[in-house]
Amino acid sequence: MRSQGQVRFLTITTKMQMTVAGTAAAIVLAWAASLGVMGISQWQANVERASLLEREAQVATAEDRFSQYSDNLATTVADLQARQDLLDGMVDMLPEDLTAEIDSTVTDSTAESEELISMIREVFPEAEGLAKMEARQLAFAERLTLYADRRAARAQEAMRQLGLDPHAVMRANETAMGGPLESLASDSDGTLDPRFERLGLSLARMSALERGLSQIPQVMPADLNSISSGFGPRRDPFRGTAAMHRGLDFRAPHGSPIHAAADGRVSYVGWKSGYGKVVEIDHGAGMVTRYAHMSSFNSKVGVKVDAGDVIGAIGSTGRSTGPHLHFEVRINNKAVNPRPFLETAPHVLEQVRAEFAPGDGQINGEING
C-alpha cells in the first residue's frame, strides 16, 4: 500500500485466509439451505394437496356406498341376521328354567321391544328387521345375565359348604371382563347399554368365583388310604409327649409322586426347619398348601400348576421317622384341617359342574373368543 511516498505491507496469514474462506462457504451454504427449505415446503404443500384430493375422493366413495347401503337395506339385514343366528344358538344352550329370582336387578325388555317393533313397523317398515334383531340381542344379554348370576350363586353356596368366605375369594380373583361384548352393545357415541354393562359385571363375578372354586384343595396329594396321621393333637413320635399336628401324613414308598391339590402358582421351593424339603403353592384368597419331607422337587417358584400335577416325590427329609408326605392347608397363614377339603370338595364341585355342564364350555368359548 503506497501512501504519501511511503510503502506499507499488509500480510494475510494462512489462518486469516481460512477464516475468510470459511465465512464465504457458510454464506453459500446458508443460501443453499434456504433454497432447500423452500423446496421442502413446496413439496409438503403438494403432498398435502394430493392427500386432500385423495380424502375428497374417499368421501365421494363413502357417499356412493352409503347410497348402496340404503338401497339394499334388505341385504344388510340378511347379513346381520346371519350373525344374530350365532347368538341365538348360544342362547339355546342355556337352561330352560332360568328365572330372575336370584337377582331382581336383571331386566326383562320383552314388552319394551315389542312396542318398539310395532312403532317402527308403522313408521319405517324397512327397518323392522333391525328392530327385531335388537330385541333378540337384548333378550340374549338378559338371559345370559341370569345364567351367570345363577352360576355365581351356586359357586358361593359351594364355598360356604366348605367353610370359605365367598367375598374374600371373589376379591382375590376379580379381574376386568366384558370387553369383547362392547363391539356388540356400545352405541356410536361410545356409551354402553346398561343391560350389557350389567351382563359384563355378572360374567366377571361368575368368572372370579369359579376360578376360586378351582383353587380349593380337591385332589389327594397322595393315596387317601395311606393316611398315617391326622390333623390335631397326637403323641409326638420323637419325644413321646402330646403335640399338635397341623396337617395330614401320607405314608408311601420313597420316591412316590406328590400331586398338587388344586390349581395355583408355586410360591416356595426349598428347605424349612423341621419340614425338610418343601414345596408351597399359593391358590389365592390367602390359601396356601404345603408339601413337606420331600425327597426331590419337580417344580419351580412362579410356575403355574394345575390340580393333579406332579410337583415332587415323597421322602423323609427334615424331622421325619420314615418316607411320608406331610400335607398342610393354610388360610391367611393359619393351618386348618385339610381333610374336609379333600373329602368334601370333589363332591361339591362335581355337583356344580354337573348342573352347568350342557353347552357350558362352548358358551364360554364364544364369549371369550
- Alpha-carbon span 283 to 48, nearest angstrom: 59
Q: Greater confidence, 174 or 161?
A: 161
CA 43 to chain centre: 49
Same-domain check for residues 213 and 296? no
Q: Is 219 left (phi over 0), alpha (psi -120 to 50) or beta?
A: beta
Of the three residues 33, 56, 71, the one that is the final residue of a domain is: 71
* 2 — pLDDT class (breaks 50, 70, 90): low
pLDDT tens for 26-70 read 776 776 776 666 666 666 655 665 565 565 555 444 455 445 445
Overall average pLDDT of the 230-240 stretch: 79
Contact 269, 279 (CB under 8 A): yes
What angle is formed at CA 346 by the lines to CA 267 and CA 103, rounded to 5 degrees?
95
Contact 281, 216 (CB under 8 A): no
How many domains does the structure of the chain reveal?
3
Same-domain check for residues 150 and 200? yes
Same-domain check for residues 234 and 198? no
pLDDT of residue 290: 96
Query: Does residue 343 sit within a domain?
Result: no
CA 341 to chain centre: 27
Residue ranges of the alpha helices (H) in the chain?
A: 14-71, 73-92, 110-123, 128-161, 166-173, 182-185, 194-214, 339-355, 360-368
Q: Greater confidence, 108 or 328?
A: 328
CATH number at residue 267: 2.70.70.10
Cell numbers linked to 9:
505491507
Of the three residues 71, 104, 123, the one that is the final residue of a domain is: 71
Query: Does residue 345 sit within a domain?
Result: no
Same-domain check for residues 212 and 129? yes
pLDDT of residue 256: 93
Range in 14-18, 164-168, 260-264, 334-338 with the lowest mean pLDDT: 14-18
Query: Does residue 112 sit within a domain?
Result: yes
Mean pLDDT of the chain: 75
pLDDT tens for 100-135 read 554 556 777 788 778 877 887 777 777 777 778 778
- Top mean-pLDDT range of 23-37, 119-133, 134-148, 350-364: 134-148
Residue 339 in this model has a pLDDT that exceeds 80: yes
| Sequence letter at residue 339 | R
Residue 314, C-beta contacts closer than 8 angstroms, at least 6 positions apart: 222, 250, 252, 253, 254, 255, 256, 257, 258, 293, 294, 295, 323, 324, 325
Query: Does residue 82 sit within a domain?
Result: no
Query: Does residue 79 sit within a domain?
Result: no
What does pTM read for this prediction? 0.60
- Alpha-carbon span 178 to 197, nearest angstrom: 8
pLDDT of residue 37: 62
Same-domain check for residues 246 and 204? no
Same-domain check for residues 213 and 153? yes
DSSP state at residue 274: T
Domain that includes residue 66, residue range:
1-71
pLDDT of residue 261: 92
Query: Does residue 230 sit within a domain?
Result: yes
Q: Which residue has the cell 408355586?
A: 266
Same-domain check for residues 258 and 180? no
Query: Does residue 88 sit within a domain?
Result: no
Range in 61-65, 84-88, 143-147, 355-359 with the lowest mean pLDDT: 61-65
